[in-house]
Amino acid sequence: MFSTIFPPKIGGPATQSFNLCKALVEKGETPIVVTYGDAFTLSQEHGFKVYTFRLKYTYTPLDKALRWVFFPPYIIFLFVKERIQILHCHSVSALSFVAALIGKIMGIPSIVKFAGDWVWETLSTHKLQKAEDFNEMYKISLIARLMTKVEKVGLGLFDKIWVVSEFRRQNIKDLLGTDKKVFLINNCLLLDGGGARTWKDGDQTVMISANRFIPHKRVSFIVELFALSMKEGMLVLIGGGAQKEVDEVKEAIKKSGVDNRVELKGILSSKEVYSEFSKASFYISTSLEEGLPNVFIEAMHYGLPIITSDVGGSKEMVLDGKTGFVVDKDDKSGFIDRIHRLNTDLELRNRMSEAAYQRSKLFNLKDKIGEFIAIYKELIRES
């Protein structure tokens, strides 16, 4: 499994890939992980091997070129050494395409997880372009058109494409013109603990969100909404990113006058995140793009109603009016109204908490792991 981030680093792809490997081990399978790191290392702490591929060598822009030099022979070495039968790339990236090409040449079948579109996320994260939808992004500029061509070729190298939502299935169909190689399994995690919640009068309200601090997550917008809709209570923000993005959030906190009511927790371990969820009242996401967020599963598992922007596969997970609210991404007053309702209506929040917890059970990896194993075995038979 090639995963660009993996524990101890945190994030949706890291959580999902780690959980998948643990579930495979419990079923007697042998996953081997390749991820990025500060040095070439090999560890085996959780019952499976984790290789790290070194990203930085000179600590200059030259490193980006050196990755392309060192990565192909490194992957070939691992394919041969570990006698790899299946290549599973856990996200769409340029080096995932390289790994798939090498796998194809060596006769190793491959799967890629398409949870986020490479063109959109790359251009949006780096603020290179701004577009309202995927079709617009694919053709908005020369660099977007070139990246789209690369993505089409890259995805074509894989034998199977795993999508996490119907939205992503349509995304692939729009991009490739077909969904023939696509299979859909929602994001799912190994879920323990958690539970529905009951709040009573006098309990402090805590709105919480966990994100990478990148432009399309709109963390500063969350701060603004909090200041406008909750005159009491706390906002807890988990995550981090480039210093520029963190500074923008801090400036939004200062500008909104809520310095003493916002806690920036930084990057936390999964255990620490769950501890914060257990103390929160509801979760909010104002993202402009999502596949099917792992963090929604985790928040629901801890009984948190979710307010989310109506983007990507979010509405496939959050049932509007039942487990939370789905709001148009540009409807500022709509966000404010939903925050106010969950802040003041304890009966509504308690009812949604129970519904959210029950819905989280649908995304338990223990019940889904057999589907992955069946697909792996099918590919091996056909190769």
Query: pLDDT (tens digit, 9 = 90+) per residue, 146-175?
Result: 888 888 999 999 999 999 999 889 889 988
Helix 94-105 × helix 142-156 angle, to 10°: 30
Per-residue pLDDT, 288: 87
Per-residue pLDDT, 127: 52
Candidate CATH numbers 3.40.50.620, 1.10.760.10, 3.40.50.2000, 3.50.90.10; the one for domain 206-363: 3.40.50.2000
Q: Each residue's pLDDT tens digit in the chain (383 positions)?
A: 999 999 888 777 888 999 999 999 999 999 999 999 999 999 998 899 999 999 999 999 999 899 999 999 999 999 999 999 999 999 898 999 999 999 999 999 999 999 877 776 666 655 544 545 556 666 667 877 888 888 899 999 999 999 999 988 988 998 899 999 999 999 999 988 899 999 999 999 999 999 989 888 999 999 999 999 999 999 999 998 889 999 999 999 999 999 999 999 998 988 899 999 999 999 999 998 888 888 999 999 999 999 999 998 898 999 999 999 999 999 999 999 999 999 999 999 999 999 999 999 999 999 999 999 999 999 999 98
Edge-to-edge, what's the strand order for the sheet holding 110-114? 87-89, 110-114, 160-163, 182-184
Domain with CATH 3.40.50.2000 in the chain: 12-190+365-382, 206-363
* 12-190+365-382: CATH superfamily: Glycogen Phosphorylase B; (3.40.50.2000)
pTM: 0.84
Per-residue pLDDT, 128: 46
Per-residue pLDDT, 130: 53
